[in-house]
Amino acid sequence: SVARKYDIMNDLMSFGVHRLWKRHFVATSGVRPGDCVLDLAGGTGDIAALLLPRVGERGHVVVGDINGDMLRVGRDRLTDRGLLRGLGYARLDAEALPFPDRSFDCVTMAFGLRNVTRKENALAEIHRVLKIGGRALVLEFSSVREPLLKPLYDFHSFSVLPRIGKLIAGDDASYRYLAESIRKHPDQATLKRMME
């Protein structure tokens, strides 16, 4: 239900900072011309749009998402921007990727891993489809480290976000879920260990 209002809600929730995080994520990805990249949970296409200039004419980006509505939003948006070359789309489950072993130079996942039921399975699948020497990159929300900020963060997450979601997207439940999913997601150190 969040597909149509996804970007405006991200802007409102993060005060636009999510765009800077995504640019930094791609800028530090190490993706080079000719690379083949899988962007998981990439439905809206914003990471793919940033990756395309990096892979160049010889490279390829596959946008994968379990949510068909999100994929349609992303495909339409990228098509409207004239971004057609070097792009593929796949409706898929990150826990059972439909690609052969060692298919990709890089697999990215921005703000999607916390929504995966069995994270270990998804991480194993990412590892399986990466070429030797390939890179797995995850951009995700996590717990607040600074104790003084935690009450403010919790108020924003559990009180403000659902209200904004109800007002803008007509959906407060999805934004309550967002706050809960962030709280339940492994912290940075734990996720790092899971990825090693």
**102 assigned to some structural domain:** yes
**177 assigned to some structural domain:** no
Task: Report which of residues 14 and 132 the model is more confident about.
Answer: 132
Question: Six-digit token pair at 137?
Answer: 């990159």
**76 assigned to some structural domain:** yes
pLDDT of residue 14: 78
Task: Specify the CATH number for the domain of residue 135.
Answer: 3.40.50.150
CA 180 to chain centre: 17
How many other CB atoms are found less than 10 A from the CB of residue 2?
A: 19
pLDDT higher than 70, residue 114:
yes
Cα torsion 161, 163, 169, 173: sign = positive
Mean pLDDT of 34-60: 96
Which of 83-87, 93-97, 141-145, 192-196 has the highest average model confidence (pLDDT)? 93-97
Nearest Cα neighbor of 129 from 104, 112, 110, 108 is 104
pTM of the model: 0.87
Q: How far, in Å, are 14, 29, 88, 185 from residue 21 at the CA level?
A: 10, 12, 24, 19
**151 assigned to some structural domain:** no
Q: Which amino acid is at 105?
A: D
Q: How far, in Å, are 38, 90, 114, 124 from residue 182 at the CA level?
A: 23, 26, 7, 21
Lowest mean pLDDT among 12-26, 29-43, 61-75, 179-193: 179-193
Domain of residue 47 covers 17-142+187-195
How many other CB atoms are found less than 10 A from the CB of residue 174?
A: 17
Question: For 173, what's the count of Cα atoms within 13 Å in the CB-facing half-sphere?
Answer: 1
Nearest Cα neighbor of 182 from 151, 153, 146 is 153
Strand runs (DSSP E) across 41-174, as ranges? Answer: 60-65, 87-91, 104-110, 130-139
Q: Are 54 and 35 in contact (CB under 8 A)?
A: yes
The tally of domains found in the chain comes to 1
**170 assigned to some structural domain:** no
